[in-house]
Amino acid sequence: MLRHNYHTHTYRCGHAEGSDEDYVVEAIAQGIVELGFSDHIMLPNFSQKSIRGDYELEEGYLKSLNSLKKKYENRIKIKIGYEAEAFEKYYPHYRELLDSKKVEYLILGNHCYLNENNQVKFFFSHITSKQDVIDYGRYCVKGMKTGLFKYVAHPDYFMGSYLKWDSACEKVAKNICKTARKMNMPLEFNFGALRRGKRQIGEEYRYAYPYKRFWDIAKKYKVKVVLGLDAHSPRDISTDKNDAGYRLIKEWDLNVIDEVEI
């Protein structure tokens, strides 16, 4: 059973629900001893409605979580972080957040990338070509090598829309896992898509991710695996909603670690 979860969102991102305290209360009820909040990072001079909160919401995010950390300090450990993309332009901002201790950690959620005009060029949830897969892997590995991130969220995210595992997928998976092993960086087995159930993708009826062939490679490279609920509602923390994930972890015999040092 999961006792540490570092992947929790809040209503501020525009596609999650529930109060911050609701997540904490549900986590305690489910026996979680350490809850990390990692909402989609709020960035100065950058807006993505319904994807991440505007930068003006950051003060309230930090104030609320620090208050809950103190209120529940005898019942659960609360960690404050963000899920952030490998946006090179914002690396100095990421570093400042960490150095100033405004947040305690970042996780790398490689959802999209920016062009030279600071505009989203492509969403990796819409991958359809080998080049798209290669681009996903390239940005992911570059982000991993910065040392800014504690782990990689849903590293097999690229399989969410890609129709068939091929040589590009194999190459990208190996590069991500090789980098993770070299840097001693965990990869996240993500429960979010599992809760949404299986669907037809290409010729397979499957979950968008986790994708077994990726995790077979992770196992070969002996990569550390951290579990992430990717909670967008307090209900997502409930154990019965995540039973499919626990079954796959056992079936695939993954090298799961209990917690991440933050």
Q: What is the pLDDT of residue 169?
A: 98
**Whole-angstrom distance, CA of residue 22 vs CA of residue 241:** 17
> Model confidence over 98-153: pLDDT tens digits?
999 999 999 999 999 888 777 888 899 999 999 999 999 999 999 999 999 999 99
**Quick one: how far is CA 115 from the chain centroid?**
22
| Encoded amino acid at 72, one letter | Y
Give the class (CATH, top level) of 4-252: alpha beta
Q: What is the pLDDT of residue 223?
A: 98
How many other C-beta atoms lie within 10 A of the C-beta of residue 151? Answer: 23
For 25, counting Cβ atoms within 10 Å of its Cβ (0-12 exposed, 13-18 middle, 19+ buried), the class is middle
Phi, psi of 21 (to 5 degrees): -65, -30
Percent of the chain with pLDDT over 70: 100
> Model confidence over 35-57: pLDDT tens digits?
999 999 999 999 999 999 999 99
> Model confidence over 178-235: pLDDT tens digits?
999 999 999 999 999 999 999 999 999 999 999 999 999 999 999 999 999 999 999 9
> Model confidence over 61-88: pLDDT tens digits?
999 999 999 999 999 999 999 999 999 9
Three-state DSSP class for residue 253: coil
What the block records as the tokens of 10 is 């809040």
Report the DSSP pairing between strands 120-123 and 112-114: antiparallel
Q: What is the pLDDT of residue 116?
A: 79
Tokens 């995010």 locate to 61
Q: Nearest 5°: CA angle at 136, between 124 and 192?
A: 50
Do the Cβ atoms of 36 and 10 come closer than 8 Å? no
Domain ranges of the chain: 4-252
Please determine, for residue 257, whether its predicted confidence score (pLDDT) is greater than 80: yes
> Model confidence over 225-256: pLDDT tens digits?
999 999 999 999 998 889 999 999 999 999 99
What is the average pLDDT score of the chain?
96
Q: Give the list of residues 6+ apart from residue 74 with CB closer than 8 angstroms, or none.
A: none
Please determine, for residue 1, whether its predicted confidence score (pLDDT) is greater than 80: no
